[in-house]
Structure formats: C-alpha cells, structure tokens
Structure 1
Amino acid sequence: MSEPSTVVNRPVITAWSALSPFGMGRAAFTEGLRERRRTAAPLDPDQWRAAGRSASLVPGFDVRAALGKKGTRSMDRVTGLAVTTVSRLLDDSPRNRRVATGENAALVLGTTIGSVQSQMDFTRDSFTGEKPFFVDPARFPNAVMNCAAGQSAIRHQLRGPNTTIAGGHAAGLYALNYSRRLLNFGRARTVLCGGVEEFSHARSWLDMHTHNPETDGEAVPPGEGCGLFLIERNSPLDPEQPVLAEILAVEMGIALDGGVRPALASCLKRAMRRARVRPEEIWALSTSEAPGPSGEQERAAVDEVGAGAAPVRLTQNSLIGDTGAAAAAFQVAAVLAHAEGRPEAAGQVALVTSVDRDGAVGCALLRLS
C-alpha cells in the first residue's frame, strides 16, 4: 500500500516519558540533561558479572519494586523497563490514560533483539539441564523479541496494533515512522511509541566481543533505559490536546559498504523535501554521536545537507552512555526537553539523525510547539 503523497493532518507528539540513567520519569531526564550530569558509575561485582567495570544504569531500578509482586516473578529487566515507562506516561495525566488505552490504542516498541540475557539464560538451561526440554516454561516468553511490548499491552489494556521493531540504535526512528503510518492509514487512534534497552551481563560481553576499535572507535560505556512518546493525529478542535511537536517527516535508509554519508544525506534530502523545510530553518540538532568513522560521516552528511544552518547541538551519549535501541528515542526526548520552557522554541524545527553500526541510518524532522 502506498502512502498518501500529501499529509495535511500530520501526527503530533502530545506526551512523553523516560526511564534513563538520569532517573525515573520525564522530570528526571530533563533535569539531568540540563545539568549535564554524567551517570556512569562502578558496577557492584556481587550483582553484575559484566565485561566492564562501569555502566550507566537506571538508578535504583528493580522490576518488583517498580511494578509490585503480581505478574513480575519471571519478568526480565527489559520488559520491566518498558512496562514501567508505559505506566509512567499513562499516569502523567488523566487524559493520557483516557486516550492511549483501549481498542484503538497501539504500541510500537523499538529494540535490538529483545533481552540478550533472557535468550542466553534460556539457551544455557537447555544445555545444563538433565534433559534439553527441562527448562522453565515461565521464562520462555522473555526469550522472544516482542515480550516487552506484549507484556506492556496486557498490563495496561492497549488493545490496538502491537508491534516490535528491531533496528539497533535507529530503532526509535523506525518505531516513529511505523507509528506515523499507523495513524495516517487509520489503523489506530493513538500510538505509544519508543525504544527500550537493558543492561545485562550478556549484553556487556557481547558488546565487548563484537567491538572493533578500528571501525567502531573508542568503546562507550553501556547505558540502558526506555524512551516513550504518545503520538496522535493533530486535533485543532480538541482544546485538551497538548501538542509538543509535529512530526514533519521520518526517513530511513541503509548504508552499504560503510557509505554512511551518502545514505544519510539521501534521507535528509528526502525528509526536508517532504517537510518543505530549508536548511537554515533547523533550530536544534541531535545526532546519534556514533563513534569512529560512522560518526564522522554522520556529521559530514548533516553539514553537507544542512549548509547554512546554525542549530543548537544537543549531545547526551557522553552523559548516559550507549543506550542501544533506546538511543534514538532519548534523542527525540532530548529535543523536547530542551524546548520545554523556552518560548523561542515554538514553531522551530528540530532534526534528529541516527546511525547504527549494522548499516541502518535515518532522520526525523519535528516542528516544536
């Protein structure tokens, strides 16, 4: 099905929340970002058997403490992060829960591959048990990529489309684009959209063994968290709708043979053409800060297409670490947090770009309200 060439009623972001290394909730994220607070801390060796000595964790996060004992006995960390963030966003205002639950409420969640720890644990049990099938069936759902999205929908009565999108660091933008299409084609009334990543022993070792300093640059300490947005159709006649930003365009691409610059430049040109935005209109910029040559090409593509722009440059990787599939969602959250309380941001355009080491590239243009 082809998408309409002209979208008069573009989707808008009306609410957001985050569980991040800055803390739990939207206010904690905004405060930590504005304070430029670094979050990496030494890991407790009694709790973590990780490859590195430090990480940026959601402070004090415990699944059972956050969600209670009911239904959390076998819930893994990534699912707990997602379910808690959904709960936070819905509880932020009565309107959020009213419009973002029920039959026409969708959930689109970006991930890398789900919970690496759960997958490794379940596989290990099949080898170490007396027989391969002597595994805990309650732990099997955690080994499936869409567990976090499914559990979030069940717990919070989200009965519309439920989708998990694997896209690594660009997963948040893939989710944003998918959400936009769901609304444009009338498949949902509202969409909770974002990305989630957990820190775990397995992830830290996997990152260490797959890291190539020559192509990936210096390793960034791992981080974790979940960024989530409430996406709706723009309803000018609804006085209660608190529009934070209009989604002007989202474009995705694939960089082949290390060609990040041409692939991302093509995405940027398509997005700016679709949104009818000139380079000099870009007020704020959040890049993925990809390490090594990919990051250099990302910056080169932005400089090439955005010639004439002098945006505020928002950075956060040095503060919260490599948050994996939550990274692009946190970039969008950073744009919204930066605009909050700044009257001069109204009507301005923000650009978010993302690059994943496996070749996914993308960008989003938002008009702030």
Structure 2
Amino acid sequence: MSTPVTDRPVITGWSAVSPFGLGAEAFTEGLREQRSTVAPVDTARWQVPTSRAHLVPGFETREVLGKKGTRSMDRVTGLAVAAVGSLLDQPGSVKETETGERAGLVLATTTGSAASMMDFTRSSLVGDRPYDVDPAVMPNAVMNCAAGQCAIWYGIKGPNTTLAGGRAAGLLALNYATRLLASGRADAVLCAAAEEFSAARYWLERHSRGPEAPNVALGEGAAVLLVQPASAVTPDRPALADVLAVRTRVATGHQVRPALEACVRSALEAAGVAGPEVWAASPSDAPGLLGHVEREVLAEICGDAAVRRIPAVGRLGDVSAASGSFQIATVLAAAPRTGGSIALVTSADRDGSLACAVLKLRDAR
C-alpha cells in the first residue's frame, strides 16, 4: 500500500560539517566552486605515516562548541553535535517541533569512535591496574555516545538511535527515520551521520582494504537531514524533497551486482519511477571494484548522464558512514530551481549492505 501524499516523509532542512567548512552554505559554495578538499596531514599530531586526507578545516571541538561540556568530547561527537546545531540554528528553524518530546534523532556510524574505543582499552592494558582508566573518557567508547550528546545538547527527547552500517548507514538511518514517522513515534526526526579522521581509523582502513584501493584518502565530517511528514511543513521550513522509497539488500562477492540492481529496481518500482526518468543518480564511491560495480549498475539503469550530473561524494574522500547523508546533501545543494526532478542515491558497503533511496526534489525557490 502506498503512503498518502499528505503523510509522505519529506526532507525540510539539511546542514553539514564537511571538508568544505561549517554549515550548509560552506558546503554548497564548495561544490559550486569545485574546490579540492584534500590536504597534507600533520603526521606528528595524527600519528600516521606521511599521508593526505580530507579533514574539516580548522575543526577543534572546544573552539567550535565552546569549553563547557566539551573537555572529554571526542572528535566524532564534536562533529555530530556541530552539524545538528548548524541545522537547528538556521533561519526558519522551529525549536518547538525540531526539539523536545516529539522530536527524534537517528545517527549513522561505522563503529562510533574507533579512536576512543582503542584509547580506552589501551589505558586499561598499560596502566598499573586494569581499572586505572579515566572515567570521563569511558562514555566516548560507547557507540551511541555521539547520538546521546546531540540529544542532551539540544533537548531532543524523543527516540534516540544509533545505526552502525558502514557505508550504507546513512540510507539505513533515513529508512529508520521514515519508519519512526510512519509509526507515530515522532513528529520530526533529525537524521544524521558522522565519521571522524583518526590514527585508529587510518590503520584499520589500511589493513582491511583490498589491494585494489590502498591509497584512497580518508575523509571526515557530519551531515544531518530534517525529516518530517508532508502534512507538517510550514512556510519557514518548506519541503525540499519527498522521500519516495528506500530499499535495502545484503550480498557479497559475485552476488553484489545482481542484488544491487534488484535493490535499485525495487526502489524505483516502489516510487513509481522509471530508470530513464532519474535526473541524478549518486553512487557512494566505495573504494575499489565495489565502487565500479555501483557506477556501472546505475549507468545501466539510469543512464551515464544521470550518474555524471552532480559532484561525486568521493570529492570529500572516503567518508564511509557519512557517505549517504553527504550524497543527499549534494543532491539538495545541486538541485535545479524547478521541482519535480527525481534523484536516486545508492550505498554499497564491503561487508555486504546495499541500499537505495529515491527522492523527488521540490521547487527550491
């Protein structure tokens, strides 16, 4: 059964903390100017070999968020809290509906902060006694720390969920957000995704990637979408895009291509859209062969022009769990001035998670 148009989930706002800078305006300008975001890494600070990465320029948690409550806050939490705050601080934000008892938050991640987890475990192993650890750091080692901090900072008292799904996590979070709305558990959902750069993540990626993509530079950042029922939009927060469908699959090895194709076709069928009608198709730019497969499937179904129409998320480096949310942010930033265009966003994770979302862009004027 299709969802009535008046109750269909819509995206009414977005923001980002990205390698282009802080906020939606910096992100949009960076895309428009086609700026490169890759830069040399301070190897002494990050404890990695000579390398390059896509870092949020000048991002220091205590400088961005202030000193109160941030002494022990780790980087991924700081990025997430800053992104949510940049959305809630936008003109037209309605705090009564975007925060409070009927507002929810869903945060997409890979593992939370790998750096915090490893640092806390290391302190237990190298200390004189296993319990000689800093208790203030312990919350950072829990995967849902960032989501909890976002809720505490901004008074978001509804459902609070962390989804660990690797590169597909952003679209899985969007699907979860639409289900919260459909079930009546929330009237508005902040759908966020965050990924940090750290020595721990650098070494994990270096040792776990396949040989076909050893040198893809890591990226970091956070993006957040405000998702509401279509019946709840206001002139201050007009609908930017309808979420027509989100579909998922799981497959590995030789089954990835047919499973991804089935996932995309299923999402298009649920949305009532044909492949050639897609204005822009955004792949998640997974490193190596998986990324090539993803682009080939989208080109086959939607056409080469659709795949090339908007900037690739790979411009930000490998942002992993934040990929899907940054892809949607890119679609919204690059949307045509007239409504009705269809955008398709896909994710493919090396552990087998596949996802596809179909959006109908509204008039941006």
Q: Normalising by the residue count of structure 1, what TM-score does the alignment of the two structures yield? A: 0.94
Q: How far is 1:318 from its partner?
A: 4.3
Q: Cα gap change, 1:12/1:31 in structure 2, threshold over 3 Å: closer, same or farther? A: same
Q: Is the Cα–Cα contact under 8 Å of residues 117 and 140 in structure 2 kept in the other structure?
A: yes
Q: Partner of 2:55: helix, strand, or coil? A: coil
State whether residues 248 and 365 of structure 1, in contact with CA within 8 Å, keep that contact through their aligned partners in structure 2. yes
Secondary structure of 2:175's counterpart equals helix
State which drifts further: 222-231 or 307-316: 307-316
User: What are the superposed Cα offsets for residues 312-369 of structure 1, whole Å, 9 maximum, x if unpaired?
Assistant: 5323344211011111110000000001xx324x111001111111111111100000
Structure 1 counterpart of 2:333, from 321, 331, 337 = 337
Quick check: 1:28 aligned with 2:26?
A: yes
The question of whether the paired residues in 1 share the 8 Å contact of 2:108 and 2:193 is answered with yes
Gaps of 5+ in 1: none
| C-alpha distance in 2 between matches for 1:331 and 1:123 | 34
Cα RMSD of the aligned pairs, angstroms, is 1.7
Q: 1:249 aligns with which of 238, 245, 250?
A: 245
Mapped contact 1:106–1:161 kept (Cα < 8 A): yes
For residue 289 of structure 1, report the CA deviation from its aligned partner: 1.8
Which residue of the partner structure matches residue 133 of structure 1? Answer: 131
Q: Residues of 2 paired with 1:319 and 1:85: CA distance? A: 19
Question: Secondary structure at the residue paired with 2:136?
Answer: helix
Q: Normalization by structure 2: what TM-score?
A: 0.95
| Contact 1:350–1:368 under 8 Å retained in 2 | yes
Shift of 1:281: 1.2
- Count of residues paired in the alignment: 360
Shift in Å at residue 298 of structure 1? Answer: 1.1
Match of 2:190 among 170, 192, 199: 192
* Residue identity matched to 1:219: N
After the TM superposition, which segments of 4 or more aligned residues of structure 1 sit over 4 Å from their partners? 307-312
> What do the CA deviations read for 1:292-321 (whole angstroms, capped 9, x no partner)?
221222123223433697565323344211
Correspondence 1:222 to 2:218: yes
Identity between Structure 1 and Structure 2 (%) = 53
Extract unaligned runs of 5+ from structure 2: none
- The CA deviation at 1:54 is 1.2
CA distance in 1, matches of 2:101, 2:49: 44
Q: Does 1:276 align with 2:267?
A: no
Other structure's SS at 2:48 match: coil
Q: Could you give the per-residue CA deviations for residues 21-40 of structure 1, whole angstroms, max 9, x where no partner exists? A: 01110011111111111111
Residues 236 and 188 of structure 1: CA distance in aligned 2, closer, same or farther (over 3 Å): closer
Provide the residue aligned with 2:297 in structure 1.
Answer: 301
State the Cα distance separating 1:245 from its structure 2 match: 0.4
Secondary structure, aligned partner of 2:123: helix
CA distance, structure 2, for counterparts of residue 194 and residue 258 of structure 1: 31
Match of 2:353?
A: 360
> Cα 1:201–1:96, aligned 2, differ >3 Å: closer, same or farther?
farther
Deviation at 1:19, TM superposition (A): 0.2
Tell me, yes or no, if the aligned pair for 1:107 and 1:162 is still in contact at 8 Å: yes
Contact 2:92 2:236 in 1 (8 A): no
Task: Decide whether aligned partners of structure 1 residues 310 and 114 sit closer, same or farther in structure 2, where only a CA change above 3 A counts.
Answer: closer
* Counterpart among 322, 328, 342 of residue 326 in structure 1: 322
List per-residue Cα deviations over 1:21-65 (Å, max 9, x = no partner).
011100111111111111111112332112451111000101111
Q: How does 1:23-172 map to 2 (within 5 A)?
A: 23-172=21-170
